Homo-oligomer: A and B are copies of this chain.
Amino acid sequence: MPELPPHHPPVGRSKPAERIRAAGARATPARIRVLELLTAAASPQSHHEIELALGADSLDRVTLYRVLDWLVEAGLAVKHVDERRVWRFALASGGEHGGHAHFRCDCCSRVYCLDVPAPQPPDLPRGFTLARAELDLTGRCAVCNRSVK
């Protein structure tokens, strides 16, 4: 097994196992596989989509929920509800989906990353604290529009 190179890549880009240990937890197969999968994903993934992607030798349902929750707690992932009341998970801001807007298809529920910058956070009433400001776009995607032409 090769030595680590003298200079590690930045944490946000290091290997899954390292990133998990850096967050103070054990690098288990479950966490590694899920983190790899989210890293490769082109859009936010639902629990169900991840289960399918993991294939036959999937994790236990509950374990997957716990892995996903841990990734969020650890700051490695973010989760949002989609218009079907399902959580969708993506790498956290340092990762992929922090700086741009997303489009959610009402019909197929797919999520698309757009080349639209995140909106300017507005002033809030006294006493409020902002965690997140997102431009939320919904409608029908090209795929669905074609099939109902």
- Chain A residues near B (Cβ < 8 Å): 80-83, 85-87, 101, 103, 106, 112, 114, 116, 119, 121-122, 124-142, 145-146
Contacts and interface: CB of A to CB of B under 8 A. Distances in A.
A126 to B, nearest CB: 7
B142 A137 contact: no
Given A119-B135, A135-B119, A136-B136, A142 B126 contact: yes
A112 B130 CA distance: 13
Contact of A140 (B80, B122, B131): B131
Given A127-B145, A129-B140, 8 more contacts: A103-B124, A128-B139, A128-B141, A131-B138, A131-B139, A132-B139, A134-B136, A136-B136
Copies of this chain, count: 2
A124 B103 CA distance: 9
A121 B135 CA distance: 9
A148 to B, nearest CB: 11
A82 B134 CA distance: 14
